[in-house]
């Protein structure tokens, strides 16, 4: 949740109508209740107290898989004085979005057939996966077969590097 408060610093004791615009880069605003989910620009009109009430449950969520610099730009304009002169101000809030280590996805095996009498060490296929956090395409992954109750499903196979191999002669 963001702790943003809008107020008019004029000496005029009357609360004037304000227009507040909040805009963000590399993310979206949302509210814990109400409408306006996942927008990157919001505009509110009303007194400072009504605008503050409207934004009290405002949150910012960075774009998925984004990390780096981001900003929230706040612009506020009042409705002017007796002469009609409107005043405005703006504020930029700089954010630094840190990287989150996402789990690799899309595990695949390029070949999935092996002859029934394949010998120990016969290559079944190559395992590949995708990791959005990998800085290069040659990123190394450690593959392993599951332990425990599901291990019987993989009996007769082993993994070396990224290759699935026959571990025992296959003869059914």
Using alpha carbons only, what angle is made at residue 155 by residues 150 and 156, rounded to the nearest 5 degrees? 160
d(CA 55, CA 43): 10
Q: Quick one: average pLDDT of 129-150?
A: 71
Q: What is the pLDDT of residue 82?
A: 66
Phi and psi torsions of 19, nearest 5°: -125, 120
pLDDT range class, residue 6, cuts 50, 70, 90: confident
Q: What is the pLDDT of residue 102?
A: 80
Q: Checking DSSP bridges between strand 18-24 and strand 41-46, what pairing results, if any?
A: antiparallel
């Amino acid at each position: 949740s963001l702790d943003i408060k809008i107020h008019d610093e004029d000496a005029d004791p009357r609360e004037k109508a304000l227009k507040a615009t909040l805009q963000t880069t590399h993310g979206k605003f949302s509210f814990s209740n109400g409408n306006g989910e996942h927008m990157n620009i919001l505009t509110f009109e009303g007194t400072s107290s009504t605008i503050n009430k409207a934004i009290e449950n405002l949150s910012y969520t960075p774009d998925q898989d984004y990390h780096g610099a981001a900003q929230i730009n706040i612009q506020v304009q009042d409705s002017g004085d007796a002469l009609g002169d409107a005043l405005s101000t703006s504020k930029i809030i700089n954010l630094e979005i840190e990287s989150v280590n996402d789990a690799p996805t899309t595990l695949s095996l390029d070949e999935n057939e092996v002859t029934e009498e394949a010998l120990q060490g016969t290559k079944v296929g190559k395992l590949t996966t995708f990791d959005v956090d990998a800085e290069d395409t040659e990123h190394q992954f450690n593959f392993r077969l599951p332990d425990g109750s599901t291990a019987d499903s993989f009996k007769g196979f082993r993994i070396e590097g990224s290759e699935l191999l026959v571990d025992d002669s296959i003869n059914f």
